[in-house]
């Protein structure tokens, strides 16, 4: 497919409705995991211009940073640490409207104000997380959760 991304103006829902089918088309014929994770990050970053969009994968009992777009990030996060390690341990999506109010939040960038982290679960095992950070307060809600989960469900491990 052409490597040109069509980005939408409009509501968050309209933006996701535009971007999710394109992400599906980009990754469906590709078996390389990091290639697919990298293109997902690039597409989300281009559409929403969030501060940081990226994946951490569980390796050797820790989360290790994988494909991402944005400022340099912490390389490793332990289980139950930060928002990512908590989403991993609790096996659920965490939306943080104000990172300063999340005890133990790991500030990879001082510009980050709100965050959403979704665990990636296959056969009941958490394989990693998708983390999206914004410079705006309370930028994430159930709409992000719904569509980011759809994107996660497209990833073949
Ligand atoms: N804020 C995350 C750490 C990862 S970075 O923000 C990229 C956390 O608290 O787990």
Give pLDDT tens digits for 7-47. Answer: 999 999 999 999 999 999 999 989 999 999 999 999 999 99
Bridge pairing between strands 52-59 and 62-69: antiparallel
Residue 2: inside a domain, yes or no?
no
Residue 103: inside a domain, yes or no?
yes
Angle between helices 142-154 and 12-27 in degrees, nearest 10: 10
Question: What whole-number distance in Å separates Cα of residue 151 and Cα of residue 157?
Answer: 13
Question: What whole-number distance in Å separates Cα of residue 6 and Cα of residue 71?
Answer: 24
Residue 53: inside a domain, yes or no?
yes
Residue 6: inside a domain, yes or no?
no
Residue 121: inside a domain, yes or no?
yes
CA of 99 to the centre of ligand 1 (A): 9
Residue 1: inside a domain, yes or no?
no
CATH of the domain at 147: 3.30.450.40
Tokens of 147: 């569509």
Residue 29 sits in which domain range? 12-154
pTM of this structure: 0.96
Total domains in the chain come to 1
Which ligand 1 atom is the nearest neighbour of the CA of 112? 6
Phi/psi for 129 (5° steps) reads -140, 155
Residue 5: inside a domain, yes or no?
no
pLDDT tens readout for residues 73-124: 999 999 999 999 999 999 999 999 999 999 999 998 999 999 999 999 999 9
Residue 73: inside a domain, yes or no?
yes
Give bridge partners of residue 69 from the DSSP assignment: 53
CA of 29 to the centre of ligand 1 (A): 30
């Amino acid at each position: 497919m052409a490597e040109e991304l069509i980005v939408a103006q409009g509501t968050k829902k309209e933006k996701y409705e535009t971007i999710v089918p394109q992400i599906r088309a980009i990754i469906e014929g590709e078996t390389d995991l990091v290639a697919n994770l990298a293109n997902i990050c690039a597409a989300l970053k281009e559409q929403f211009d969030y501060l940081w969009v990226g994946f951490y994968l569980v390796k050797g009992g820790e989360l290790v940073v994988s494909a991402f777009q944005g400022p340099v990030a912490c390389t490793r996060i332990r289980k139950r640490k930060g928002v990512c390690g908590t989403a991993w341990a609790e096996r659920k999506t965490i939306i943080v409207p104000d990172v300063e109010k999340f005890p133990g939040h790991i500030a990879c960038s001082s510009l980050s104000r709100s965050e959403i982290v979704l665990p990636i679960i296959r056969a009941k095992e958490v394989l990693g997380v998708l983390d999206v950070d914004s410079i705006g307060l309370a930028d994430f809600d159930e709409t992000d959760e719904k569509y980011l989960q759809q994107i996660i469900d497209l990833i073949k491990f």
